[in-house]
C-alpha cells in the first residue's frame, strides 16, 4: 500500500444525506482508479482470517472505509461508524439513501423537464445545457433497461407518473403518499386507490357528519391491496431508446 494513499481524499463531494447518487458515482470511479472496487462490490470477505494475506486485505478494506467516512458529514458518519467492512458500509448507505426516494425524484425530474422553456434572450446552448443536466440526473436513477421486463416496468411507472401529474391539486397528499411508497404499486393498484379516495370524498361531501376514513390510511389500504413484487431497485432504469 502506498503510504500517500492514507491521506488522499477520495472525492471532493461531501455526503449530506441528499446527494447519494453523486457520492456513489464519485466513489465508484475513485475506487476503480485505485483498483479497490472489489471492497464495495464483493458479497463476502474473500479471505479467511487465518490466511496470511488477510491482514493486508483488512488494512486495504479499512483504508476504503476511512475514505468513505471522510466523505461524510459528521452526523452521517455517526450512523455508520461501526460498520465492520467497506462492503457492509456501502450496502447500508445504498439501502438507506439510494432507493427510498427514487420514484418521487424521477417524477419530479420528469415534471421539471416537461415544463422547461427557453426564456427570452437565453442562448440555445444554455437552454440545452440546463436540460442535459436534468437528463443526466434522470439517467442516474434510471439507467438503460437491460431486459424487456424492466422496460415494461418502466413503461408502467411512466403511466403512473403521468396519471398522478394529471390529478387535481386536492389530491397532492395522496400523490405524495403513493410516490413515497417503499415499492411503487402497480398501475391498477394506483387507479383503485385514487378511485376509493374519490368515492370517500364524495360520500363525505354528501354526508359531512359521517366519520369516513381519511386518505391518510393509504399505507394500510395499500398493504391489503395486491402489489407487484418489484424491488425498489427496478426503478433504477429508464426507457431504452425513449426521450
Residue 63 has pLDDT above 90, yes or no: yes
Residue 100 has pLDDT above 70, yes or no: no
**What's the chain's average pLDDT?**
80
Task: Note if the pTM is more than 0.75.
Answer: no
204 φ, ψ (degrees, to nearest 5): -65, -35
Which range of 61-75, 95-109, 221-235 scores highest in mean pLDDT? It is 61-75
Please state, in angstroms and rounded to a whole number, the distance separating the CA atoms of residues 169 and 175: 9
Which residue do the cell numbers 395486491 mark? Answer: 226
Compute the residue count for the chain: 243
Please state, in angstroms and rounded to a whole number, the distance separating the CA atoms of residues 207 and 237: 45
Q: What angle do CA 180, 183, 188 make, to 5 degrees?
A: 95
As a whole number, mean pLDDT of residues 107-113 equals 90
Residue 234 has pLDDT above 60, yes or no: no
In Å, the largest CA–CA distance within the chain is 77
Which residue do the cell numbers 450496502 mark? Answer: 91
Mean pLDDT lowest among 35-44, 77-86, 88-97: 35-44
Residue 222 CB contacts under 8 Å (≥ 6 apart), including other chains: 181, 185, 189, 193
Per the DSSP assignment, residues forming a β-bridge with 116 are none
Amino acid at each position: 500500500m502506498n503510504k500517500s494513499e492514507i491521506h488522499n481524499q477520495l472525492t471532493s463531494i461531501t455526503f449530506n444525506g441528499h446527494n447519494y447518487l453523486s457520492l456513489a458515482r464519485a466513489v465508484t470511479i475513485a475506487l476503480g482508479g485505485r483498483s479497490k472496487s472489489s471492497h464495495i462490490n464483493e458479497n463476502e470477505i474473500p479471505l479467511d482470517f487465518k490466511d496470511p494475506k488477510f491482514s493486508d486485505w483488512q488494512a486495504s478494506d479499512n483504508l476504503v472505509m476511512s475514505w468513505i467516512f471522510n466523505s461524510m458529514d459528521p452526523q452521517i458518519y455517526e450512523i455508520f461508524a461501526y460498520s465492520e467492512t467497506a462492503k457492509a458500509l456501502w450496502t447500508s448507505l445504498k439501502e438507506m439513501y439510494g432507493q427510498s426516494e427514487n420514484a418521487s425524484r424521477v417524477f419530479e425530474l420528469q415534471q421539471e423537464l416537461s415544463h422547461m422553456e427557453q426564456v427570452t434572450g437565453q442562448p440555445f446552448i444554455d437552454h440545452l445545457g440546463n436540460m442535459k443536466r436534468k437528463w443526466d440526473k434522470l439517467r442516474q436513477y434510471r439507467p438503460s433497461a437491460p431486459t424487456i421486463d424492466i422496460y415494461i416496468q418502466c413503461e408502467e411507472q411512466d403511466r403512473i407518473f403521468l396519471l398522478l401529474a394529471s390529478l387535481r391539486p386536492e389530491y397532492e397528499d395522496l400523490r405524495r403518499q403513493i410516490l413515497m411508497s417503499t415499492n411503487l404499486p402497480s398501475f391498477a393498484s394506483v387507479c383503485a386507490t385514487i378511485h376509493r379516495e374519490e368515492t370517500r370524498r364524495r360520500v363525505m361531501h354528501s354526508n359531512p357528519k359521517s366519520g369516513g376514513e381519511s386518505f391518510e390510511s393509504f399505507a394500510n389500504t395499500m398493504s391489503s391491496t395486491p402489489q407487484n413484487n418489484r424491488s425498489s431497485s427496478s426503478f433504477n432504469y429508464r426507457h431504452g431508446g425513449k426521450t
